[in-house]
Chain A
Amino acid sequence: MTVNARTEGLDAEVVVARPEHRLDVTLSAEPGDVVAVVGPNGSGKTTLLRAVAGLQPLSSGRISCGGRVWDDTVAGVRLSVQERRVGMVLQDILLFPHLTATDNVAFGPRSRGRTRADARRDATAWLDRLGVTDLAERRPHQLSGGQAQRVAVARALATDPLVLLLDEPLAALDVGAAMALRLELARHLAEYGGITLLVTHDAIDALTIANRVVVLDEGRIVQHGTPAEVSALPRTAHAARLVGLNVLHGQSRGSLVELVGGTELVTTTPYDGPVHVTFPPAAVALSREAGSGSARNQWRGRVGSVAPHGTVVRVHLDAAGGLIADVTAESAGRLGVAPGQEVWASVKATEVTVHAAGPVDRPARIT
């Protein structure tokens, strides 16, 4: 397994040259990886997904997965979509409208040669795992967006794909439904064991579901790393806007969150249970002394690095398990922040956003 690890996973060199866009990406992923693909519109995220699925021909490149070559423009190999063992979930959901939830999920196993009875049994088991057993005989138009997307995920997973391709699966859902499904998705992807490529616009998806983040811009990978690495040092303005967030994990009781690592944080969003809390780096204020101002969350920490970041100075602290603070050059100078120095960091409770993390907490694997 260790020797063959690279061939068991996904290795993709994808070049798609089109008049208006060019995609040129090299990407590897191991079974169990959840790779968030982020980037501005037109950066090639969806094209990359479609290329892996075989829906988009490569101009040049090579894709292999599970020890098998899927695409090789030099050797002239091009496996059909059906032969690739991918699962696809799109923003538009696209459940077959004339089939019940069960028949939608059974469609894959049936297409791959299972008997009608076996396929239905598989489908029922998958609907059960996704918690939508009671919707089995409903048709798509009788399902809410969140329910339909659960069925779509079940349909994609029911064929036991090597690679699961999720193209903005939560984008069409309202906030509540998206939040609930995000939790479940994180859990199912952890159990799934295959490779997931998740195209998303939402930082919280990238930071809480994925263990790796790939940032695309104009058809190229401009950054690649763990969610923590990318959020700490985003290399493009888009990535900064998208993932330039402090993300902390903890247990919320009322409006008090006990953070992993022992410190506490006050929010204005009462909630009971495991949570991710996020706040932008610009919301973190630094001072020499413990302040007595309106900020209710204060931590003492040591400065790790100081670097200019656009028009501000980005400061990394070891407080609260790792914080990013963006301060103006002027206040950085006044404070004289330098690596190794001890400072106080404070965040107003109103700046903190709380995301429920669900019963099975699986924070992004931060290394």
Chain B
Amino acid sequence: MTTDSSPALGRAPLRLLVPAAVAIGLLVVPVVGLVLRTPWRELPELLVEPALRQALWISVLTATAAMLLCAVLGLPLAWVLARTTFRGRGLVRGLVAVPLVMPPVVAGVALLAAFGRTGVVGGPLRDLFGVTVPFTTVAVVLAHTFVALPFFVLSVEGALRAGNPDYDSVAATLGASRWMTFRRVTLPLVLPGIGAGMLLSWARAMGEFGATITFAGNYPGTTQTMPLLIYSRLQSDPDAAYALGLVLLVFSLIVLAVLRDRWLREAPA
């Protein structure tokens, strides 16, 4: 740890340092535990297991699809929230944040209620097109998108708001339509924010469990993602669960490494 940079203010008080140390322990010990508990010797054979490759493939596929869906739908929504004024904008922003605080299982139940066989959308879908969504790979993508979209929208909306709105004004005086301004000025300026939002939504989708298992089930080959596989294995073969957990941890650390400039940048002294 760094030393106190302003010694004139006195020592950092123990009653703050001790809980801080406990917090660090709470965050670090489980990760260390996982690394220690991983059966390193059997790791190679556990990692070539077909079930893992299948689940990893589904996880990456559905998380990536959800990420792209978040970008395609979330960017326009973020723009509308950041750049237009309309009655009820505050309400819309609040609704966008609901999945952030909603228990994932409830999200899964809600998705079932909407897209299930008798749901508001699911019923007509089945009657008119013979399509059923729940317990399919599409359902996994839908569940992922539902929980990940707020991360994308709020992160990109923040990036849009952080930019100077007078860029839009200048572009308008130069004759650019709003669409052209969006395409040629706004979009390039928030590209880093979009990248971060996509990565965030991808990471959230990779870790998604509750909504997925409720809405899409846990079927190997179609809806069983990595977290669901880990959960299943923990009951039958704990060693495999630890090994799989390590794999997901590595993915998370990669995301953290990519986003380190955003999250780990020290506040200016």
Contact of B164 with A53 in the complex, beta carbons under 8 Å: no
Interface range on chain A (Cβ under 8 Å from partner):
20 to 34
Query: How far, in angstroms, from A86 to B166 measured CA to CA in the complex?
Result: 15
Whether A107 contacts B174 in the complex (CB less than 8 A), given A55-B169, A81-B169, A90-B166, comes out as: yes
Q: Looking at the assembled complex, report how far the CB atom of A70 sits from the nearest CB atom of chain B, in whole angstroms.
A: 13
Would B171 and A107 count as touching, CB distance under 8 A?
Answer: yes
Q: Are B184 and A107 in contact (CB under 8 A)?
A: yes
Query: Shortest CB–CB separation between residue A166 and chain B, in angstroms?
Result: 12
| Contact between B175 and A53, CB atoms less than 8 A apart | no
Give A96's nearest chain B residue, CB to CB: B185
Please determine whether B170 and A88 come into contact, CB atoms closer than 8 angstroms: yes
The complex places the Cα of A80 from the Cα of B175 at a distance, in Å, of 10
Q: Is the CB of A82 within 8 A of B167?
A: no
A111 touching B170, Cβ below 8 Å: no
Asked whether any CB of chain A lies closer than 8 Å to the CB of B249, the reply is: no
Supposing A53-B169, A107-B184 touch, asked if A98 and B189 sit within 8 A by C-beta, the answer is: yes
A112-B166 contact given A96-B185, A97-B189, CB 8 Å threshold: no
CB of B173 closer than 8 Å to a CB of A: yes
Residues of A within 8 A of B169 (CB): 50, 53, 55, 81, 88
Contact across chains for A155 and B174 when beta carbons are under 8 A apart: yes
- In the bound assembly, the distance between CA atoms of A306 and B138 in angstroms comes to 88
Q: In B138-180, which residues have CB < 8 Å from any A CB?
A: 164, 166-167, 169-177, 180
In the complex, chain B residues whose CB is within 8 Å of the CB of A88? 169-170, 173
Supposing A92-B166, A96-B167, A96-B185 touch, asked if A53 and B173 sit within 8 A by C-beta, the answer is yes
Q: Tell me, in angstroms, the Cα distance from A96 to B169 when the chains sit together.
A: 12
Query: Which residues from chain A contact B173 at a C-beta distance below 8 Å?
Result: 53, 81-82, 84, 86-88, 156, 159, 161, 165
Measured between beta carbons, the chain A residues less than 8 angstroms from B221 are none
Q: Distance (Å) between the CB of B53 and the closest chain A CB?
A: 41
Q: Mark B193-229, 1 if CB is under 8 A from A, else 0.
A: 0000000000000000000000000000000000000
Q: Is A77 an interface residue (CB 8 A)?
A: no
Interface pair A159/B174, CB less than 8 Å apart:
yes
Q: How far is the CB of A140 from chain B (nearest CB, A)?
A: 12
Cβ of B25 within 8 Å of any chain A Cβ, yes or no, is no
Chain A residues, Cβ within 8 Å of B170: 88, 90, 94
| A111 partner, pick from B166, B175, B189, beta carbons under 8 A | B175
**Interface residues as binary, A140-175 with B (CB distance below 8 Å gives 1, 0 otherwise):** 000000000000000110010100010000000000
- Distance from B211 Cβ to chain A, minimum over Cβ atoms (Å): 37
User: In the complex, A92 Cα to B166 Cα: how many Å?
Assistant: 9
Bound Cα distance from A81 to B180, whole angstroms: 14
Complex-state Cα separation, A108 to B171, whole angstroms: 8
Interface membership of B103, Cβ < 8 A: no
B76 within 8 A of A: no
Q: Roughly how many angstroms separate A259 CA and B164 CA in the complex, as a whole number? A: 46
A156 to B176, CA, bound (A): 13
Contact B176 A111, beta carbon cutoff 8 Å? yes
CB 8 Å contact bits of A92-117 with B (1 = contact, 0 = none)? 10101110000000011001100000
**Residues in A26-63 with C-beta less than 8 Å from chain B:** 50, 53-55
Tell me whether A82 and B184 are in contact in the complex, defined as CB-CB below 8 angstroms, given that A94-B167, A97-B189, A98-B189 are known contacts.
Answer: no
Q: A53-B169, A55-B169, A81-B169 are in contact. Are A92 and B175 (CB under 8 A)?
A: no
How far apart sit A355 and B133, CA to CA, in the bound complex (Å)?
76
Residue from the list B166, B176, B185, B189 in contact with A82, Cβ < 8 A? B176
- The verdict on A112 contacting B189 (CB below 8 Å), with A53-B169, A90-B166 known, is no
For the complex, what is the distance from the CA of A97 to the CA of B189, rounded to whole Å? Answer: 8
Chain A, Cβ-Cβ closest to B167: A94
Task: Point out the residues of chain A lying under 8 angstroms from B175, CB to CB.
Answer: 82, 108, 111-112, 159
Residues of chain B contacted by A112 (CB below 8 angstroms): 174-175
Query: How distant is the Cα of A360 from the Cα of B180 in the complex, in angstroms?
Result: 39
Leading 3 A-B pairs by shortest Cβ distance? A108-B174, A81-B172, A111-B175
> Can you name 18 A-B residue pairings with CB atoms under 8 Å?
A50-B169, A81-B169, A87-B173, A88-B169, A88-B173, A92-B164, A94-B167, A94-B170, A96-B167, A96-B189, A97-B189, A98-B188, A107-B174, A108-B174, A111-B171, A111-B180, A112-B175, A156-B174
On B, residues with C-beta under 8 Å from A are 164, 166-167, 169-177, 180, 184-185, 188-189
